Amino acid sequence: MGANLCKVNPGDELYLLFGRQMPIVLRSVSEGVYRLMGTVFVCGIINGEAMEELDATGWVPNEMMIV
């Protein structure tokens, strides 16, 4: 369960960025191009808990460029 200030559509993607407490929502507009829809409150991952869990599992992050 979560909340945000923008309309989230099916197919939008939730991303966790290093250095940010709150996840962001990106919407694909074409191949490899996304629109930043905003930050989103998601119960259980608002204070960096998700990053801590991923670190504990040995997860390796994907790299992407945001311009």
Instruction: Note the pLDDT of residue 2.
Output: 53
Greatest distance between any 2 Cα atoms in the chain: 34
* Residue 23 falls inside a structural domain: yes
pLDDT tens figures, 9-29 = 889 998 888 777 778 899 999
* Residue 63 falls inside a structural domain: no
* Residue 66 falls inside a structural domain: no
**Rounded to whole angstroms, how far apart are CA atoms 43 and 50?**
10
Residue 48 has pLDDT above 70, yes or no: no
Instruction: Note the pLDDT of residue 3.
Output: 55
Give me the domain span that covers residue 37: 2-57
User: What is the enclosing helix (H) or strand (E) of 54?
Assistant: helix 49-57
* Residue 64 falls inside a structural domain: no
Global confidence as pTM = 0.69
Task: Say how many domains are in the chain.
Answer: 1
% pLDDT > 90, the chain: 7
Instruction: Give a three-class secondary structure readout of 15-33.
Output: ECCCCCCCCEEEEEEECCE
